[in-house]
Chains A and B, each alone.
Chain A
Amino acid sequence: MRSDGIFIAVEVDDSHAQDAELARRLSEACPVDIFAQGAQGALEIVRSNLDECVLCRLCLDASPPGAVKIIKLYDEEALLV
């Protein structure tokens, strides 16, 4: 799944998008509430908060490598690493 704000886009690998445990970890980790858990614990990306991303990497730390991508739309889609 991918969701785009104006400055930041977030992409979560489809195979991980259904992982409720990952969804829980992500929603806890993000200090600006970009990730949420919807019905049945499924991962949701809160589009209105995308542009608040502070590039803290806590979501990357909380997920398997490559599962989550933070994309800087203002920097030719450079990935946060």
Chain B
Amino acid sequence: MRFFEYEAREVIKRAGIPVTDYGFTTDAAEAGEIARRIAGPTVIKSQVLTGGRMKAGGVQFADTPEQAEAHAREILALEINGHAPRGVLVDPKAQVEQEYYAGVVWDGTRKQPVMIFSPVGGIDIEQVAEEQPEKVGRRHFSNILPFSGFEAKEVIAATGVSGSALNKLVPILTRLARLFVENDMILAEINPLGQLTDGAFVALDAHMDIENEARGRHRKLLAELGVGEEETRQAREATAFELAGEQVDAQDHRGVAGNVTEFDGNLGLVIGAGGGSLTLFDAVRAHGGRPANYCEIGGNPSVAKACGLAKLVLGKPGVERIAVMMSIVSNTRVDLVARGVIKACLELGHDPAEKIAIFRIPGAWEEEGFKILARYGVEYVDRSVSLNEAARRAVEKIGGGDAATGAPAAQAAGGVAPGSES
């Protein structure tokens, strides 16, 4: 979960890293008040979770409190990349001598956090790494030995920084490393870390990203920052359909009906598990199908949960049929999923044989599942029909003559038509 800049500033402030005398507000008049308190030139910065603020006019300079208020009013109404600002940050315009970079991030290959430092800050660190590699220091640090100041000292010194700057930077980077670890961050970046004319260092911008899985152990911090428990800060807000999907999942702890994502096609997908869902979605697309949704069934869902998910998907405007498909299952019961999806059809007043384009879930309790499917005339196939082939048949069923004539889809080896002997 990404923090807004004003939240990130608060986090580093609590860690003992010097910050400016900034103020955050959602009100233009209050922005003017903050500027008055600062009593000097200010920078008004849009608080959005997207880049390109400067280019979009989301960062403005003000010499007077009146200007600050006017800029704030503009910026508060300015959408950047489709994001409306949460508020504005009013920052004293600092007298910066030099801009540095300090950041901590995970290295998944080395499986340790890595500290990155550069005396060339204020621009993309990627660019610096490419153009002036000798000016970028990297140092991994242990997960189990507590971070020690010398590790920060080494990475700073490696870039040629010495003297009083080195000594001032060591505690800052040490605190940054510790806050990264203690707060379960996946990114903690200060860019630029400004050195003022009097030699003091101050964070002029901060990017922090806390791991979603770990949010539960930082409830107090998040509450104090005003981050809502339900806030996900995804690339876009969840749609009503997706929220309904979360509801289906939340109402029953038995099994998982997850990652319900809305698309706008005519083929509803009741699919799983994780890898299987990705594979099936790819396959449907590859065969020219138009999925109405994505989802991931996992674990051992109750009949009610499978039914709830299938009803949600069937009820989505534009959905003509659903395809129920999974990779070979070990702990998901084929018969229970079969009951769930058939029940969904019946409760909505549909004929399951009509509404379920194909059922492909091989694995645990499949014999029982096949009996149920056969009884209701639902077209099902066993493991000899691949995920890809099942997806192709589903797309064909929706697209073409099969639907018009009502004839069963062509049977390849291993496919089983309704009514035949299992």
- Chain A interface (Cβ < 8 Å from any Cβ of B): 6-7, 32, 51-52, 54-55, 72, 74-75
Is B372 within 8 A of A52, CB to CB? Answer: no
Shortest Cβ distance from residue A32 to the other chain B in the assembled complex, whole angstroms: 8
Is A51 within 8 A of B343, CB to CB? Answer: yes
Is B375 within 8 A of A6, CB to CB? Answer: no
Shortest Cβ distance from residue A62 to the other chain B in the assembled complex, whole angstroms: 22
By a CB distance below 8 angstroms, the chain B residues around A7 are 339, 343, 372
Given A6-B339, A6-B343, A7-B339 in contact, is the A74-B372 Cβ separation under 8 Å?
yes
Which residue of B303, B368, B375, B376 contacts A55 across the interface (Cβ within 8 Å)?
B368
B333: CB under 8 A from chain A?
yes
Is B303 within 8 A of A51, CB to CB? Answer: yes
By a CB distance below 8 angstroms, the chain B residues around A72 are 371
By a CB distance below 8 angstroms, the chain B residues around A55 are 368
| Residue in chain B with minimal CB distance to A73 | B375
Is A75 within 8 A of B304, CB to CB? Answer: no
By a CB distance below 8 angstroms, the chain A residues around B303 are 51-52
> Which B residues between 320 and 359 are near A, CB-CB below 8 angstroms?
333, 336, 339, 342-343, 346
| Residue in chain A with minimal CB distance to B340 | A51
By a CB distance below 8 angstroms, the chain B residues around A6 are 339, 342-343, 346
B302: CB under 8 A from chain A?
yes
| Residue in chain B with minimal CB distance to A50 | B303
By a CB distance below 8 angstroms, the chain A residues around B333 are 54
Is B371 within 8 A of A74, CB to CB? Answer: yes
- Can you sample 8 A-B contacts with CB below 8 Å? A6-B342, A6-B343, A7-B372, A51-B303, A51-B339, A52-B303, A52-B304, A74-B375
| Residue in chain A with minimal CB distance to B343 | A6
Is B302 within 8 A of A52, CB to CB? Answer: yes
Residue of A55, A72, A74, A75 ringed by the most chain B CB atoms within 10 A: A74
By a CB distance below 8 angstroms, the chain A residues around B346 are 6
| Residue in chain A with minimal CB distance to B365 | A55
When chains A and B are docked, how far (Å) is the Cα of A52 from the Cα of B252?
13
| Residue in chain A with minimal CB distance to B307 | A51
When chains A and B are docked, how far (Å) is the Cα of A54 from the Cα of B346?
20
Task: A7-B339, A54-B336 are known; give 10 further A-B pairs, CB within 8 A.
Answer: A6-B339, A6-B342, A6-B343, A7-B343, A51-B303, A51-B339, A51-B343, A55-B368, A74-B372, A74-B375
Shortest Cβ distance from residue B306 to the other chain A in the assembled complex, whole angstroms: 11
Residue of B303, B343, B368, B371 ringed by the most chain A CB atoms within 10 A: B303
Shortest Cβ distance from residue B337 to the other chain A in the assembled complex, whole angstroms: 12
When chains A and B are docked, how far (Å) is the Cα of A75 from the Cα of B303?
18
Shortest Cβ distance from residue B335 to the other chain A in the assembled complex, whole angstroms: 8
By a CB distance below 8 angstroms, the chain B residues around A32 are 302
Shortest Cβ distance from residue A48 to the other chain B in the assembled complex, whole angstroms: 9
When chains A and B are docked, how far (Å) is the Cα of A7 from the Cα of B342?
10
By a CB distance below 8 angstroms, the chain A residues around B372 are 7, 74
Shortest Cβ distance from residue A4 to the other chain B in the assembled complex, whole angstroms: 14
When chains A and B are docked, how far (Å) is the Cα of A39 from the Cα of B376?
38
When chains A and B are docked, how far (Å) is the Cα of A75 from the Cα of B343?
16
Shortest Cβ distance from residue B6 to the other chain A in the assembled complex, whole angstroms: 49
Shortest Cβ distance from residue A9 to the other chain B in the assembled complex, whole angstroms: 13
Residue of A51, A55, A72, A75 ringed by the most chain B CB atoms within 10 A: A51
